[in-house]
Structure 1
């Protein structure tokens, strides 16, 4: 999700217009079938307040498995939904095609459509969300049945950062650190009749980004194409930003927001801070 901390339900209207194609920005991006720990958050919800019609089912955000049963994402992806929303996680490379196929197989049965591509879980958002500009507390997890996840996908959970790891690198260290963003989101804005659209989405893709700025809870990453960067866009919210530190790929932050056209900056929530670690500690072991 980009541009504002709107709910995932609000951004679903944008995603509904996206045709199956590549995710992340189209420039300097490549498919990421090897990033099997990165997944899509799928939801079913009452989209029209009419109990006589089937709930809508769609992928809405991205995220990462931090252990065998914990999927890390953003709190704005799990908040402000209609009553009765259900959350699922898929680690498929192409979630959109899977949803399209299962919708034809199970017409009018959104739960069956979701189960065909994903495993249902329970969402836990930071109770301090939405916080403020200094600390949005925009972090959440989906707790999943580990046996069901293991029966469907093979993956190695991601490495989380140690406390204050980005601070310890310092400006010079951060500038020389390779960063990669991954997710299932749409491409950058395309101008056309009626205004801008964001094509693509629903496929796991990665792109390089470079360090821009750091403060107490946020790390900003540059998505500028001339520097060889790609970047995140709508639907990448909650997804990982990896940094290679000391030869280890480490999930240092999650995508939260950025510029509306998805060309310039990925604003990401740090995972090495006291507030992020306090939230995560009950759900997963921290380094």
Structure 2
């Protein structure tokens, strides 16, 4: 399996400058497990021109996200900005996206031909990206939220996969919970990202990725627009890493799984903290309102 970062390098730099840490992007190998039942969670793939000749020559996965209705895939703004002109965006709800990439490459397919193979074999659908116009914002509110919209597309994820859209929170839901409730609730991150850092002869790398995994996290803090979650192995938690950006962070309340936030950033080696963008705020709800029916 190839080693790679889960989001564009330009987004890595921007996130590190803004938050003083690396962007989160993958689920850890420790205290995590496959998540075939999380059918609303998918990988975002991009077809892009990497050599500047005007032809899209590279097709790969970069971020995670979740379907919040039949036509709307929720992810992070830093996942959909700063791509070359003519880049195309796709979503796959397959459990093992990297496996299908490897399979298509074994057939000698790359770039546009590989993307078409994904479409023809039902492993991806093409959508239209849109992000909060206030992104990148500032440290108090990064406005780091985006969607891949399928409302104007003839083929949508619902035509390819069976899934129940994630349940969004009501306005101010997290503020209404007591500190004890926040601390005692089960928090779960889901995504396709890479593994936590490993150290070898060439330094630290983040192997793996491209397979949907889940991990339980611990509650750390709630800010105006952020949820800070602990992913410390010794405490029984796992968490997000590179490629999990945009992926869902669920809270379980009264046995109901609610999409409380999307993964944005965390510590660079992916060992201690996951920081998620809250979805119950006025800012997030204002962006989402044109795309989904809010609870």
Check whether TM > 0.5: yes
Offset at 1:147?
A: 4.8
CA RMSD of aligned residues (A): 1.9
Which residue of 112, 117, 136 maps to 2:116?
A: 112
Query: Which residue does the alignment assign to 2:103?
Result: 101
Give the alignment of 1:248-287 within 5 angstroms.
Answer: 248-287=256-295
Offset at 1:51?
A: 3.8
| TM-score relative to the length of structure 1 | 0.90
Which residue of 35, 42, 48 maps to 1:39?
A: 42
1:9 equivalent in alignment to 2:8 = yes
Query: Which residue does the alignment assign to 2:247?
Result: 239
How far apart, CA to CA, are the structure 1 residues paired with 2:7 and 2:124? 18
* SS of structure 2 residue aligned to 1:221: strand
Q: Could you say if the C-alpha distance between residues 137 and 70 of structure 1 is closer, same or farther in structure 2, counting changes exceeding 3 Å?
A: same
Query: Which residue does the alignment assign to 1:62?
Result: 64
How far apart, CA to CA, are the structure 1 residues paired with 2:10 and 2:208? 14
How far apart, CA to CA, are the structure 2 residues paired with 1:146 and 1:247? 35
Offset at 1:113?
A: 3.9
Offset at 1:246?
A: 2.1
How far apart, CA to CA, are the structure 1 residues paired with 2:154 and 2:41? 16
How far apart, CA to CA, are the structure 1 residues paired with 2:218 and 2:11? 28
Query: Which residue does the alignment assign to 2:130?
Result: 124
Give the alignment of 1:146-185 within 5 angstroms.
Answer: 147-185=155-193
How far apart, CA to CA, are the structure 2 residues paired with 1:133 and 1:177? 26
* SS of structure 1 residue aligned to 2:8: helix
Q: Could you say if the C-alpha distance between residues 114 and 49 of structure 1 is closer, same or farther in structure 2, counting changes exceeding 3 Å?
A: farther
Which residue of 116, 137, 155 maps to 2:143?
A: 137
Query: Which residue does the alignment assign to 1:77?
Result: 79
* SS of structure 2 residue aligned to 1:251: strand
How far apart, CA to CA, are the structure 2 residues paired with 1:114 and 1:128? 33
Give the conservation status (yes or no) of the 8 Å contact 1:188–1:233. Answer: yes
Offset at 1:47?
A: 1.3
Question: Where does the alignment leave 5 or more consecutive residues of structure 1 unmatched?
Answer: 1-5, 14-22
Tell me how many residue pairs correspond in the alignment.
Answer: 272
* SS of structure 1 residue aligned to 2:104: helix
* SS of structure 2 residue aligned to 1:173: helix
Q: Could you say if the C-alpha distance between residues 110 and 258 of structure 1 is closer, same or farther in structure 2, counting changes exceeding 3 Å?
A: same
Which residue of 29, 32, 42 maps to 2:32?
A: 29
* SS of structure 1 residue aligned to 2:128: strand
Query: Which residue does the alignment assign to 2:21?
Result: none
Q: Could you say if the C-alpha distance between residues 146 and 164 of structure 1 is closer, same or farther in structure 2, counting changes exceeding 3 Å?
A: farther
Q: Does 113-122 or 216-225 show the bigger shift?
A: 113-122
Q: Could you say if the C-alpha distance between residues 92 and 275 of structure 1 is closer, same or farther in structure 2, counting changes exceeding 3 Å?
A: same
How far apart, CA to CA, are the structure 1 residues paired with 2:99 and 2:114? 15
Listed one character per residue, the Cα deviations across residues 227-249 of structure 1 (whole Å, up to 9, x for unaligned) are: 11000000000000000012210
| TM-score relative to the length of structure 2 | 0.88
